[in-house]
């Protein structure tokens, strides 16, 4: 059976994340210690104890989620005695999860990734003054309908683009606050089931993030990138990539580009992947699988019990 390991993005963080893993598996504790050292920050304490307001700061959330995901991957390898490439045929991650995927697959070094995500979080936060940008979720409207709304708005109140195509009937907008609000009103007129502003600190995955993309281009320039053990299904292309220089470019493009998650899952289905296994905190990605491809199963591996169950299924 073909399997893909997938890695969550921002929004899955929670106080206490990773603690049960570190208590049960020394290899997980080593991952958290290495991330702390790379950042010269006690991120582990923040993950375990909070406060949630500080953990939710983008500069902390991104490396914390990555560390937890990579810890799960390392535990699976250590406990099974298998390489990641013997357990999965592809890796993919949602937004920052793409960095987790590349680290788990040996393309990026853990310490480099921690520093990159700290810089990415800071750069994304600084790119747009607080209050000027916004993101919104549209539920119950397919991607084609949302694209028509965005085209109809035609930048009348500023920039508004599709940031995330997550699943059938679940699309996220991003851009200038007034422009996003305008498209929400258009969506309500068209009978969208639900339209709501999201509690985020910046408008991710839209052209307003260009300063952050420029910063990541500079940050990534000197980082060593190896071919991943298994191909990455990239956010911005929804297709597989293994070439290090292509990956470097896509990580820059990803900051302003659309997260094509629905298309990525469909692509993996076309490659005969039958199971998506979400590694890390939360169950967001595994819960969406059946809404995208009814032939594919989704499961989440985040606790020692989940790890035991997964290893038993190998």
Residue that the structure tokens 């936060």 belong to = 125
Per DSSP, 88 falls in state: -
Distance CA 186, CA 195 (A): 10
Sheet holding 194-197, edge to edge: 160-167, 170-176, 133-139, 194-197
182 catalytic? Reply is: no
- Residue of 12, 69, 95, 100 marked catalytic: 95
Tokens of 29: 């504790």
- Residue of 69, 205, 264, 286 marked catalytic: 205
Count Cβ atoms within 10 A of the Cβ of residue 104 and give its class: 0-12 exposed, 13-18 middle, 19 or more buried: buried
User: Integer distance in angstroms from the first to the last C-alpha of the chain?
Assistant: 10
Distance CA 111, CA 170 (A): 34
One-character DSSP codes across 244-308? HHHHHHHHHHHHHS-B-HHHHHHHHHHTTEEEEEEESS-SHHHHHHHHH-TT-EEEEE-SHHHHH
Q: Are 45 and 22 in contact (CB under 8 A)?
A: no
205 catalytic? Reply is: yes
Q: Are 113 and 31 in contact (CB under 8 A)?
A: no
Query: Which are the catalytic amino acids?
Result: 95, 205
């Amino acid at each position: 059976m073909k399997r893909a390991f997938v890695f969550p993005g921002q929004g899955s963080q929670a106080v206490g994340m990773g603690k049960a893993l570190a208590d049960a598996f020394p290899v997980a504790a080593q991952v958290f210690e290495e991330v702390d050292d790379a950042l010269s920050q006690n991120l582990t304490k923040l993950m375990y104890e909070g406060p949630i307001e500080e953990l939710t700061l983008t500069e902390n959330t991104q490396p914390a989620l990555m560390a937890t995901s990579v810890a799960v991957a390392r535990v699976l390898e250590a406990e099974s005695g298998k390489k990641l490439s013997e357990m999965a045929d592809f890796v993919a991650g949602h937004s920052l999860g793409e960095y987790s995927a590349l680290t788990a697959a040996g393309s990026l070094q853990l310490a480099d990734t921690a520093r990159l995500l700290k810089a990415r979080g800071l750069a994304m936060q600084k790119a747009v003054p607080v209050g000027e940008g916004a993101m919104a979720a549209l539920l119950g409207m397919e991607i084609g309908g949302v694209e028509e709304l965005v085209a109809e708005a035609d930048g009348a109140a500023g920039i508004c683009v599709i940031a995330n195509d997550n699943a059938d009937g679940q699309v996220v907008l991003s851009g200038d606050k007034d422009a996003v609000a305008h498209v929400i009103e258009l969506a309500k007129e068209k009978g969208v089931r639900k339209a709501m502003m999201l509690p985020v600190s910046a408008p991710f995955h839209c052209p307003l993030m260009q300063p952050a993309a420029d910063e990541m281009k500079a940050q990534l320039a000197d980082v060593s990138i190896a071919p991943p053990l298994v191909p990455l299904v990239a956010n911005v292309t929804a297709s597989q990539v293994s070439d290090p220089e292509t990956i470097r470019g896509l990580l820059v493009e990803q900051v302003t580009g659309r997260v094509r998650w629905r298309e990525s899952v469909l692509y993996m289905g076309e490659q005969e992947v039958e199971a998506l296994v979400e590694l890390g905190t939360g169950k967001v990605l595994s819960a969406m699988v059946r809404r995208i491809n009814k032939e594919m199963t989704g499961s989440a591996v985040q606790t020692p019990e989940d790890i035991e169950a997964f290893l038993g299924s190998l």
